[in-house]
Amino acid sequence: MVRVKSRYLLCEVNVSNRSSLLHLDDRAVAAAVKAAVARTHGDYGAALCSIRFCVKYLNAHTGIVLLRFPKKFYRLLWSALPFITGIETRGQKIPCFLNCLHVGGTIRTCQKFLIQYNKHQLHQMLPKCKNKEEKNEVRRAILSCSLTGEKMGLKGEESEEERANT
């Protein structure tokens, strides 16, 4: 059996001003990626980018983006990502760059990686906490992402949001 294969790129949007992340939406990210690909790879790249490219997931709180590319051309399209210097939304340009964390064949593996990654981030955050409340919050978040089963993905997202709030 043959099926359509894709590559999912888990990227992190790095911004200097964290509050500007909330202005992001998936259409703006997609437009930025398409523009970068069109600039670096011309009409050929732009055509490849229009085949099965889409932004699958965007978390405006943490700046996590999941991009889907066709498997055959993902390296070519991936190479254009470092040339993104800003994302334009609602008339204003947010200076940022995309940091690719993980390349996976399915969304599931990306989600698993993201949970691991966020857990690691929380572990690093724990010693840096200043007061007790923050510490308890982080501890609770770490415990919550150790749950396994159906709600694994949901818990991961929750812990992310908690990370953003702390």
Q: Is 31 in the site for other proteins (CB under 8 A)?
A: no
Cβ distance to other proteins smaller for residue 39 or 123: 39
Cβ distance to other proteins smaller for residue 36 or 115: 36
DSSP for residue 92? E
Match 């709600």 to its residue by tokens.
151
Q: Which residues contact 105 (CB under 8 A, 6 or more apart)?
A: 5, 6, 7, 8, 71
Piece of 42-50, 110-118, 130-138, 145-153 that binds other proteins (CB under 8 A): 42-50
Cα dist. 91→43, 87, 96, 148, 163 in Å? 26, 10, 16, 42, 29
Q: Is 105 in the site for other proteins (CB under 8 A)?
A: no
Select from 23, 31, 34, 38 the one that contacts other proteins (CB under 8 A): 38
The CB density around residue 25, as the number of other CB atoms within 10 Å, is 15
**CA gap 126, 114 in Å, rounded:** 18
Instruction: Return the residues of window 53-92 that contact other proteins according to CB under 8 A.
Output: 79
Q: Are 81 and 11 in contact, with CB atoms under 8 Å apart? A: yes
Q: Is 150 in the site for other proteins (CB under 8 A)?
A: no
**CA gap 42, 22 in Å, rounded:** 31
Select from 15, 25, 34, 40 the one that contacts other proteins (CB under 8 A): 40
Q: How far is the CB of 85 from other proteins (least distance, A)?
A: 14
Q: Is 44 in the site for other proteins (CB under 8 A)?
A: yes
Q: Is 41 in the site for other proteins (CB under 8 A)?
A: yes
Q: How far is the CB of 86 from other proteins (least distance, A)?
A: 18
Q: Is 39 in the site for other proteins (CB under 8 A)?
A: yes
Q: What residues does 59 pair with on adjacent strands?
A: 64
Q: Is 93 in the site for other proteins (CB under 8 A)?
A: no
Residues engaged in binding other proteins (CB under 8 A): 38-45, 79
